[in-house]
Amino acid sequence: MRILMGAAAVALLGLACAGCGNSGVSGAQAAESAPAAEQVTAVGCPKAPKPGCVTLTADGKTWDVTAAGVDLAKGVAVNVSGTAGPAGACGPTLVNAQVDYTGLQCKH
C-alpha cells in the first residue's frame, strides 16, 4: 500500500508540474508586455537635503537628481527630464536625466 501511495504522490507531482517548462510565457514575451518606464519632467529649485544628495520636488513628489549633475551653485530653477528609476539613498531616482537651467532665481 505504501508503494501505491508513493506512486500516486509521484504522479500527482508530475501533474502539478505539467505547466512547468516551455508552455509558459517566454522572457521575450514578458519583456514585450512589460509596461514602459514612466517618463518624468520635474521643474523647480533643486535642494541638497543631505550630503551627497540633490533632490527636486515637483507635483508633490521628490526625485533624486544627483546623477544628473545639477549645479546648485547657479542658484536657479531647473527643468529635469528622465525615466523614473529605483529608489536610492536620496529617494526615487530619475535615470538618464537631462538638465536645463531656467534662469529663474531660487530663494535659499
Domain residue ranges of the chain, discontinuous segments joined by +: 2-33, 39-105
Grid cell of 88 as nine digits: 536610492
Better-scored residue on pLDDT, 11 or 36: 36
State if pTM tops 0.75.
no
Amino acid at 37: A
Mean pLDDT of 35-45: 87
pLDDT, tens digit, for every residue of 56-94? 998 899 999 999 999 999 999 999 999 999 999 999 999
pLDDT, tens digit, for every residue of 10-22? 343 343 444 444 4
